[in-house]
Chain A
Amino acid sequence: GENVEQHPSTLSVQEGDSAVIKCTYSDSASNYFPWYKQELGKGPQLIIDIRSNVGEKKDQRIAVTLNKTAKHFSLHITETQPEDSAVYFCAAINMNYGGSQGNLIFGKGTKLSVKP
């Protein structure tokens, strides 16, 4: 089955700096890669996703890149703000082989702290 590894487990940056979180996956058939943000006391919330037919996707200060050959994908946050402080989870799934949104395989999370 799929296995997703996420690094680093904790990340501290100064406000305004960029933050990068990296994930690797094991199943080359995985074709959907979402990123979720979990604020303290809340459930995770989807912030951006990418499919395997796309190499990069951007949404304002957030971008995700995917390298299918190396089987890794990354989350990039530019101009970080204190409200970006949260735990970020990457995930992967093969949507074409019985996969569905419901059984995503998640990384173990990265706790991002943005210092003002």
Chain B
Amino acid sequence: KAGVTQTPRYLIKTRGQQVTLSCSPISGHRSVSWYQQTPGQGLQFLFEYFSETQRNKGNFPGRFSGRQFSNSRSEMNVSTLELGDSALYLCASSGDRGPTGELFFGEGSRLTVL
């Protein structure tokens, strides 16, 4: 069974640009979550989608947005990039809606903003 796939793995952007990251969850998983990982802040929750609906949202500005498609694939978008947006963006999928599900993480998309 294929794991969580994130593309692209690495990308470099300049301030003011926008970026779209893609995540393909494990087949059959309907929940997709996004996290931002930085050395100073650790893993910070961005948002979670379940069956194409945003179920939870973290404390990030509106420049960060996401969506989920009918096949459970998800994208996140960051507009008007800032230097501080440089981070590893992790996507995780879960097959369970309830408390017993495990988060399966992808290897991340490393974004560098110059």
Contact of B55 among A34, A102, A108 (CB under 8 A): A102
B56 touches A45 (CB 8 A): no
B56 touches A102 (CB 8 A): yes
- The answer, yes or no, to whether B82 is at the interface (CB within 8 Å) is no
Query: What is the CA–CA distance of A58 and B96 in the complex, to the nearest angstrom?
Result: 23
With A102-B56, A106-B42 known as contacts, the answer to whether A46 contacts B102 (CB < 8 A) is yes
Residues of A in contact (CB 8 Å), total 25
With A43-B92, A106-B42, A108-B41 known as contacts, the answer to whether A101 contacts B107 (CB < 8 A) is no
The A29-70 residues at the B interface (CB cut-off 8 A) are 32, 34, 36, 41-46, 51
| Minimum distance in angstroms from A41 CB to a CB of chain B | 7
A105 touches B45 (CB 8 A): yes
| Minimum distance in angstroms from B67 CB to a CB of chain A | 15
Contact of B56 among A36, A103, A107 (CB under 8 A): A103
How many contacts A-B (CB < 8 Å)? 78
Query: What is the CA–CA distance of A32 and B58 in the complex, to the nearest angstrom?
Result: 19
Residues of B in contact (CB 8 Å), total 30
Query: What is the CA–CA distance of A100 and B97 in the complex, to the nearest angstrom?
Result: 7
Q: Interface on A for B, CB 8 Å cutoff?
A: 6, 32, 34, 36, 41-46, 51, 89, 95, 98-109
Q: Interface on B for A, CB 8 Å cutoff?
A: 4, 31-33, 35, 40-45, 48, 50, 55-56, 58, 90, 92, 94, 96-99, 101-103, 105-108
- 16 pairs, A vs B, C-beta closer than 8 Å: A42-B107, A43-B92, A43-B107, A45-B105, A100-B98, A100-B99, A100-B101, A101-B94, A102-B50, A102-B56, A102-B92, A103-B48, A103-B55, A103-B56, A104-B103, A106-B43
